[in-house]
Structure 1
Amino acid sequence: MAQDAEAYVLILYYSRSGATARMAAELARGVETAGIATRLRTVPSVSPDTEASLPPVPVEGAPYCTSDDLRHCAGLLLGSPTRFGNMASPLRYFLDQTSDIWLEGSLAGKPAAVFTATGSLHGGQESTLISMMLPLLHHGMVIAGIPYSEPALTHTKSGGTPYGASHWSGGNDGELSEDEVTLCRALGKRIGKLALALDRNLEETP
């Protein structure tokens, strides 16, 4: 159950070229159509040495995610560019630091979905999406994908998978295609609805 006065879906992502960030914005629009707030957060790059190399607040874009942002969310959308068929190391590093949240069981029973962007059509989109699901399953989250009842999933010639939203940057001059936008918003709306339903159910459980 969300502990803040207002329940929210956390959209947590890492983005280098901006494609994943653009997806996050479309997912947020979808979440908000379900009638629940969103919280956009990112993670810093991994430092190549032992010294802090980035300012504590990013110069632009979403703020860095805190443990409490994750702990108190009612639902989660997790996004990363593809890195050799896997999530990017900065996002993986952040998740590796969440053992306290895992021990508390703070995310158990909450809905989650994943999204990714890649530069090539067969660049490991689906394996990246699955790699992001694994730590969420360990946290006890309820994983949701995109059902084939979404017509864009059947006829897309760019990104979009049943495992989660995806973007192929070579398919539309680096911009999100109409189908990719549609599927991002559909997935956001789905997680928003699930977050409201599951949060309400937890509140009513004695």
Structure 2
Amino acid sequence: MIQLIVLYYSLHGSTLNLAKKIAQGINSVEGCEALLRTVPKVSTVCEATEADIPEQGAPYITLEELEHCAGLALGSGTRFGNMSAPIKYFLDGTSGLWLNGSLIGKPATVFTSTNTQHGGQESTLLSMMLPLMHHGMLIVGVPFSEENLSQTTTGGTPYGVSHVEGSEHTPILSDHESQLAFNQGKRLATIALKLSK
């Protein structure tokens, strides 16, 4: 059994719902198991700290879990066309894994959610890919053979699945977004399984 990490940061539940669907897709592949993980909030007040264990949701990721995973799905809400500060802060602390080459050759995929249809989904997905590429990870996108990618009027890109929550912060995924997320997780797991042999 190989383990793949689905690492996300979510404020209103949209990115979490995408993470859960991606995890379901990973778990649908025999021999693969998804581990849902999150990161703590960061604060502009330097003395502020988060509890060691989150009050709700997935446990916080550890560097050891990331080091030993067979693949990674990384998700964040969009912040001005970029990943959220908590995800960036965590990635900035992975230089030890970079020095050891721990993630080289492992597959990775990305996902996001935004308030608006033109809220910077694609630039956010690309921004999350950059540190993964520096780690030597292999980027897994969403090919246009996925019919939902051409049919969706909500979220979805070839760089990774996305969700448009709107001004009401609706975390409920559309059918297209849900299927794209599931298939993205399944694709990641299938590739990770082939690479692990």
Same fold (TM over 0.5): yes
Compute the displacement of 1:173 (Å): 4.5
Structure 1's consecutive aligned runs of 4 or more residues displaced over 3 angstroms after TM superposition are 171-174
**C-alpha distance in structure 2 between counterparts of 1:49 and 1:71, whole Å:** 30
Counterpart for residue 169 of structure 1 = 165
**C-alpha distance in structure 2 between counterparts of 1:170 and 1:54, whole Å:** 29
Compute the displacement of 1:177 (Å): 0.1
Among 142, 149, 168, the residue aligned to 2:145: 149
Which segment drifts farther, 151-160 or 47-56? 47-56
Compute the displacement of 1:7 (Å): 1.5
**C-alpha distance in structure 2 between counterparts of 1:54 and 1:48, whole Å:** 13
Listed as ranges, the matches of 1:28-107 within 5 Å are 28-35=23-30, 36-107=32-103
**C-alpha distance in structure 2 between counterparts of 1:194 and 1:182, whole Å:** 18
Among 26, 37, 41, the residue aligned to 2:21: 26
What are the ranges of 5 or more consecutive residues in structure 2 without an aligned counterpart? none
Counterpart for residue 122 of structure 1 = 118
Change (3 A) 1:174 1:63: closer
- In the superposition, the TM-score normalised over structure 1's length comes to 0.92
Question: What one-letter code is carried by the residue in structure 2 that aligns with 1:7?
Answer: I
Compute the displacement of 1:47 (Å): 2.4
Aligned CA-pair RMSD: 1.3
Structure 1 residue 140 corresponds to structure 2 residue 136: yes
What are the ranges of 5 or more consecutive residues in structure 1 without an aligned counterpart? 1-5, 201-206
Question: What one-letter code is carried by the residue in structure 2 that aligns with 1:176?
Answer: L
Question: What one-letter code is carried by the residue in structure 2 that aligns with 1:39?
Answer: L
- In the superposition, the TM-score normalised over structure 2's length comes to 0.96
Q: How many residues align?
A: 195
Question: What one-letter code is carried by the residue in structure 2 that aligns with 1:169?
Answer: E
Query: Secondary structure at 1:56's aligned position in 2?
Result: coil
